[in-house]
């Protein structure tokens, strides 16, 4: 999805290239995450094809990103809505999100999801079936619901840029650790819903839905704060990184946390996201030809990747090859074929919207951040 990524500084608008980079990198990590699942002994229990020989050590890295991989995408999606409202009224926003989010979701439900199911049931020696399903596109349904439900709040924030809520948050951003206010709702969600060990289970759970909504709203507020947020997050990056990494090590260590587990999970998730935004604002806020290309490609590539991964897994995993080689083949094949298909799809005007590409994508403008 393309849109200008910008923050308002007085009457001057400056693009936020870092947000586009973070969205692109986060979606790329999700594709890698899905491929790594096939090399875990429990893959079949979540309807992934599993390799006979596992590489369980890979899950250490996946565990590090597990608590923030989906929440960060919802947060960035909320940012994208605020960026888009600079140029659209509420009705135009709804029309845009219907085309860019709901249309790919409906198409994927009937045509992408069934392909995934087909290869899984064939791999495990079941009869082939056709059954619609969202699979990896479930978060699009959440985002569309968030836009519908929160639209009155978004319009109010947009029309009243100096409202009391934003004044409080802007003031907080000026003091050391003031942005820690935004950790509170994320931790509160975990304490209230008590997901426990299922904190990282986001699809089709009440916890995933409400955490996504909280992060979506927080992302919208971040951008609404304007430059005060971007200045404040830079100074907040090291404390949150230290806290996030410390909590990750504690999570990996066999320590009994008891009733604190939910609060610590929420705290770690929020800390990672704030640290990532902080370091991104310092090191990634730069334009480049590469950014323009990958930012435009990442959304359709994500839509395409799972059926491609499953098709390749069906043929590669049964081979008598080392697990590491199979992993490499899946990584290269999934990304490579998805990019080739993207290059074909973006040249066929009537197909573009089905994969989240605008009709007028010839100029390869920066992709929008409203979708993960």
* 280-305 pLDDT per residue, tens: 999 999 999 999 999 999 999 999 99
pLDDT value, residue 257: 74
Of the listed ranges 47-51, 86-90, 214-218, the least confidently predicted one is 86-90
Mean pLDDT of 364-370: 41
Report yes or no: 331 and 45 within 8 Å, Cβ to Cβ: no
Residue 211 has pLDDT above 90, yes or no: yes
pLDDT value, residue 366: 42
Based on C-alpha coordinates, what's the Rg of the chain? Answer: 21
- pLDDT over 90, % of the chain: 88
pLDDT value, residue 8: 43
Please name the helix (run of DSSP H) or strand (run of DSSP E) that holds residue 6, with its range, or none.
strand 6-9
Report yes or no: 232 and 252 within 8 Å, Cβ to Cβ: no
pLDDT value, residue 307: 98
pLDDT value, residue 2: 39
Strand pairing partners for 271? none
Mean pLDDT of 190-218: 97
Residue-wise pLDDT tens digits, 309-321: 999 999 999 999 9
Strand pairing partners for 2? 367
Mean pLDDT of 164-181: 94
- pLDDT over 70, % of the chain: 93
pLDDT value, residue 3: 39
What is the distance between the alpha carbons of residues 290 and 297, in angstroms, rounded to a whole number? Answer: 11
What is the distance between the alpha carbons of residues 131 and 133, in angstroms, rounded to a whole number? Answer: 6
Residue 169: C-alpha distances to residues 217, 220, 225, 266 (Å): 14, 12, 7, 20
Residue 116 has pLDDT above 80, yes or no: yes
pLDDT value, residue 371: 46
How many C-beta atoms surround the C-beta of residue 309 within 10 A? 28
Strand pairing partners for 7? 14
Residue-wise pLDDT tens digits, 233-267: 999 999 999 999 999 999 998 777 778 999 999 99
CB neighbours of 113 closer than 8 A, spacing ≥ 6?
131, 132, 133, 134, 135, 137
Pair of tokens at residue 42: 């429990």
Residue 289: C-alpha distances to residues 17, 273, 276, 294 (Å): 12, 26, 23, 9
pLDDT value, residue 369: 40
pLDDT value, residue 360: 64
Residue 44 has pLDDT above 80, yes or no: yes
> Helix H segments across the chain?
17-37, 58-66, 69-84, 90-97, 103-107, 113-123, 138-159, 164-173, 183-193, 206-224, 227-235, 237-252, 261-283, 289-316, 323-345
Residue 355 has pLDDT above 90, yes or no: yes
> What is the pTM assigned to this prediction?
0.93
Mean pLDDT of 86-112: 96
Residue 93 has pLDDT above 90, yes or no: yes
CB neighbours of 144 closer than 8 A, spacing ≥ 6?
97, 98, 101, 102, 105
Per the model's pLDDT, the better-predicted residue between 260 and 363 turns out to be 260
């Amino acid at each position: 999805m393309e849109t200008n990524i910008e923050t308002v500084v007085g009457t001057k608008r400056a693009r936020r290239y870092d947000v586009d980079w973070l969205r692109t990198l986060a979606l790329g990590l999700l594709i890698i995450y899905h491929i790594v699942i096939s090399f875990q002994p429990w893959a079949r229990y979540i309807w992934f094809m599993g390799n006979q020989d596992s590489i369980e050590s890979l899950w250490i890295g996946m565990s590090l990103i597990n608590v923030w991989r989906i929440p960060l995408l919802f947060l960035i999606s909320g940012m994208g809505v605020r960026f888009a409202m600079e140029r659209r009224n509420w009705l135009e926003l709804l029309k845009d999100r219907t085309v860019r989010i709901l249309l790919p979701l409906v198409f994927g439900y009937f045509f992408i999801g069934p392909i995934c199911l087909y290869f899984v049931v064939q791999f495990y020696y079941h009869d082939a079936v056709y059954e619609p399903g969202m699979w990896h596109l479930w978060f699009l349904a959440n985002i569309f619901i968030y836009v519908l439900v929160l639209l009155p709040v978004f319009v109010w924030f947009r029309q009243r840029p100096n409202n009391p809520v934003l004044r409080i948050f802007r003031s907080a951003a000026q003091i050391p650790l003031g942005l820690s206010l935004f950790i509170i709702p994320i931790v509160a969600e975990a304490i209230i819903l008590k997901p426990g060990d299922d904190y990282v289970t986001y699809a089709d759970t009440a916890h995933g839905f409400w955490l996504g909504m909280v992060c979506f709203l927080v992302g919208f507020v971040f951008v609404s704060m304007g430059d005060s947020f971007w200045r404040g997050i830079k100074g907040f990056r090291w404390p949150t990184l230290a806290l996030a990494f410390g909590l990750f090590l504690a999570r990996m260590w066999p320590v009994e946390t008891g009733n604190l587990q939910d609060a610590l999970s929420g705290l770690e998730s929020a800390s990672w996201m704030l640290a990532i935004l902080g370091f991104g604002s310092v090191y990634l806020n730069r334009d480049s030809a590469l950014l323009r290309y990958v930012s435009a490609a990442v959304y359709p590539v994500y839509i395409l990747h799972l059926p491609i991964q499953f098709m390749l897994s069906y043929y590669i995993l049964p081979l008598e090859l080392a697990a590491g080689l199979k992993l490499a083949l899946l990584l290269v094949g999934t990304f490579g074929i998805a990019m080739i298909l993207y290059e074909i799809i973006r040249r066929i005007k009537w197909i573009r919207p089905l994969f989240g590409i605008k009709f007028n994508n010839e100029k390869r403008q920066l992709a929008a951040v409203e979708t993960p």
